[in-house]
């Protein structure tokens, strides 16, 4: 269910067991909101931006069974979506959700930063820490925060406007703002927690970066080839290769220092990344299934974007077992991202395939809701079926819950209709 929610107008409804309710509202950049969800079950509250990216979440606010996103600053003007659910989508009942104007969490100013600085501190639960730095017009800055909790990172200009916001760019506890172009002046960097109530130790780094340009390279690599290269301090190297849909590849880089290896599509969108595959100097993207024909980019860089050096990059055919229950992929495989809802239309008699990259030991939940009798299948990169569901929460809802991935690499999510109707 989806409808509009207005400020200061509580909505009370009944959530069926295993279901969810979606509410949309229009927000302004820098607007501070609070959303409170109470019910007779263990509630769960999630906020998504206009692109469907999860930007805030809460469960068990202050140890209670209700949920609250408090003092959250909206990063941009546009439509936002609230998802009301029970914890793990296992219960249901009567609930009340209310959207209100709010004030930011308590802000603790801590000091000044200069390019190249790394500072360490501890965030107090329920508060935010503030650091300032000066920039010249045209500067390009990268900021990284690593913490003992799920961090968030925001840059504000002198007028208090949000310049950039990030959560989880480098993993659950790492937030990263990459190559932010600045107009000059004083800037404020705010370190917070995704849940709003967490805290702990963190380290914040400010780096002067080179302006990002379109990916250009005349360096090519082919299957079965190893190449030698080097890059300067604070820079990166790109290589290209041509791939075909359904092809499985493995990339490996060994270097002098701590390397990061990234695979990107022809538009420059990151598809997979690895750092420290069994060794601090080695990174591997293993058995990655290509989902479209065309040119792919391989980026080699240092972990903290500071130290250059020499490296060896190898591109090889990946290993892909072909089980007896192998099924062909649909003609248009799209990318699915963790925490980002997607919508689509299924033609009669066809399937829709979505690809995502997972890590061994990662636990995921997949859910599809439609206006027809949906089915949901999880496939490995060879097309072998790993799990299947039909009618989890009703005839239009299918769900694969708490599935543990057994290896690193690409997985396929297949949406279909029962009986191919």
Query: What's the pLDDT tens digit per position in 247-261?
Result: 888 999 988 777 788
pTM (two decimals): 0.42
In terms of Cβ atoms closer than 10 Å to its own Cβ (0-12, 13-18, 19+), residue 409 is buried
Q: Which residue has the higher pLDDT, 285 or 7?
A: 7
Which residue segment(s) compose the domain that 161 sits in? 106-208
* Among 300, 299, 298, 302, CA closest to 258: 302
* Among 199, 134, 192, 186, CA closest to 165: 192
Query: Are 295 and 343 contained in the same domain?
Result: no
The tokens for 96 are 């009340």
Tell me, yes or no, whether 306 lies in a domain. Answer: yes
Tell me, yes or no, whether 277 lies in a domain. Answer: yes
pLDDT tens digits along 66-111: 888 888 888 888 889 998 988 766 788 999 999 998 876 677 888 9
Tell me, yes or no, whether 329 lies in a domain. Answer: no
Query: Are 172 and 230 contained in the same domain?
Result: no
Query: Are 81 and 119 contained in the same domain?
Result: no
pLDDT tens digits along 131-161: 999 999 888 899 999 888 888 888 988 887 7
Which are the contacts of 76, defined by CB distance < 8 A and separation ≥ 6? Answer: 29, 49, 50, 162
Instruction: Tell the residue number behind the tokens 């140890």, with chain if given.
Output: 63
Tally of structural domains, the chain: 4
Which are the contacts of 155, defined by CB distance < 8 A and separation ≥ 6? Answer: 143, 162, 163, 164, 165, 177, 180, 187, 188, 189, 190
Asked if the model's pLDDT at residue 337 lies above 60, the reply is: yes
- The residue from 73, 101, 129 where one domain ends is 101
112 alpha-carbon distance from chain centroid = 29
């Amino acid at each position: 269910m989806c409808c509009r929610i207005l400020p200061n107008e509580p909505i009370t409804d009944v959530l069926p067991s295993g279901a969810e309710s979606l509410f949309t509202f229009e927000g302004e950049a820098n607007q501070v909101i609070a959303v409170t969800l109470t019910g007779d079950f263990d509630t769960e509250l999630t906020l998504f931006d206009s692109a469907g990216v999860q930007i805030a979440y809460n469960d068990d606010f202050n140890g209670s069974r209700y949920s609250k996103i408090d003092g959250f600053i909206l990063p941009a003007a546009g439509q936002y979506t609230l998802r009301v659910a029970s914890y793990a989508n296992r219960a249901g009942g009567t609930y009340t959700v209310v959207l209100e104007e709010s004030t930011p969490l308590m802000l603790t100013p801590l000091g000044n930063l200069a390019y190249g600085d790394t500072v360490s501190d501890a965030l107090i639960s329920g508060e935010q820490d503030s650091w300032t730095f000066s920039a010249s017009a045209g500067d390009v800055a990268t900021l990284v925060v690593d913490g003992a909790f799920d961090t968030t990172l925001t840059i504000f200009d002198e007028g208090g406007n949000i310049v950039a916001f990030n959560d989880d760019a480098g993993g659950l506890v790492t937030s990263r703002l990459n190559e932010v172009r600045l107009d000059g002046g004083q800037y404020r960097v705010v370190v917070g927690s995704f849940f709003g109530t967490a805290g702990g130790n963190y380290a914040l780094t400010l780096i002067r970066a080179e302006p990002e340009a379109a990916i250009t390279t005349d360096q090519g690599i082919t299957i079965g080839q190893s190449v030698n290269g080097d890059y300067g301090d604070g820079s990166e190297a790109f290589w290209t290769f041509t791939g075909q849909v359904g092809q499985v590849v493995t990339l490996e880089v060994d270097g002098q220092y701590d390397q990061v290896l990234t695979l990107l599509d022809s538009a420059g969108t990151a598809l997979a990344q690895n750092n420290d595959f069994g060794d601090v100097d080695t990174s591997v993207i293993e058995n990655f299934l290509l989902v479209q024909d065309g040119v792919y980019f391989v980026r080699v860089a240092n972990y903290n974007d500071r130290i250059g050096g020499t490296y060896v990059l190898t591109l090889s055919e990946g290993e892909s077992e072909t089980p007896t229950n192998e099924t062909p992929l649909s003609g248009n495989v799209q990318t699915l991202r963790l925490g980002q809802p997607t919508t689509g239309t299924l033609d009669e008699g066809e399937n829709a395939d979505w690809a995502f990259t997972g890590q061994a030991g990662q636990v995921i939940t997949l859910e599809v809701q439609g206006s027809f009798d949906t089915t949901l299948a999880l496939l490995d990169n060879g097309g072998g079926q790993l799990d299947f569901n039909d009618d989890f929460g009703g005839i239009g809802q299918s769900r694969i819950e708490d599935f543990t991935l057994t290896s690193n690499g690409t997985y396929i999510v297949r949406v279909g209709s029962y009986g191919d109707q």
